Homo-oligomer: A and B are copies of this chain.
Amino acid sequence: MKIGIVGGTGDIGEGMALRLSPKYDVIVGSRDEIKAVATCDICRETLQVQGMECSLSGVTNQRVVDEADVIVLAIPFKHAAPTLNTLTGFEGKIVVSPINPIERTNYFYYAPPPEGSAAMMVKGMLPESATVCAAFNNIAANKWKVLDEELDYSVAVCCDDDAAKQQVMEIVNNVSSLRAYDAGPLAAASVVESVTPLLLNIARFGKMRDAGVKFV
């Protein structure tokens, strides 16, 4: 199975590449292929220092969609629709949305699109045969990148297709100490995405660097 990361040169994308490429074939995408190649070089060096092997290559976002079986959309909400509008070929693919529509005033709040959640918006933009999963929504970007810290968090996964959901939950459970939880159909993704502004508020008002979540 090949995992592709659209927007893989951002903070979360780079962290995901670091965490996933020792276990899976990973292709990292960017609008600018040169940036994607550079991100992969950095990741490869970081992993080598830790004595870890990886399978990692940098390509365009379109090649990620063309070649990967599971495509992670590691893009901020405001870039999600514009990016998806430039890409084709999602037919039959599993598409993972870790996207959170968040805004802030003096606190962070959930600001979903008319579809009810980022995940449902993504679903509406893709062909019928693509399967969208919400996952990895509640993990802080900087946590992904610090390889020598365990990611000891819970990850809620929403999806309408059981086989795809199982496949994504298995990927989650293969990353550090993450533990996947079935959180129902994709329409239930809004209550997963909205945990992220809560965690940002808790970090902000509690003067913590970041906050994560565990279901117990």
- A: residues with CB less than 8 A from B are 106-110, 152-153, 156, 181-185, 187-188, 190-192, 194-195, 197-199, 201-202, 204-206, 211-216
Cross-chain contact of A181 among B152, B190, B191, B202 (Cβ < 8 A): B202
Whether A185 and B109, one on each chain, are in contact in the complex, defined by CB atoms closer than 8 angstroms, is no
Whether A202 and B153, one on each chain, are in contact in the complex, defined by CB atoms closer than 8 angstroms, is no
One complex includes copies of this chain to the number of: 2
Most buried by B among A153, A197, A215: A215
CA distance A201 to B189 in the complex (A): 10
Contacts of A185 in B (CB 8 A): 106-107
> Separation in Å of the A98 CB from the closest CB of chain B?
16
Whether B188 and A192, one on each chain, are in contact in the complex, defined by CB atoms closer than 8 angstroms, is no
> Separation in Å of the A144 CB from the closest CB of chain B?
15
Tell whether A202 pairs with B182 under 8 Å between CB atoms, given A109-B188, A187-B107, A195-B191: yes
Contacts of A152 in B (CB 8 A): 216
Whether B216 and A214, one on each chain, are in contact in the complex, defined by CB atoms closer than 8 angstroms, is yes
> Separation in Å of the A85 CB from the closest CB of chain B?
28
Cross-chain contact of A205 among B184, B191, B199 (Cβ < 8 A): B184
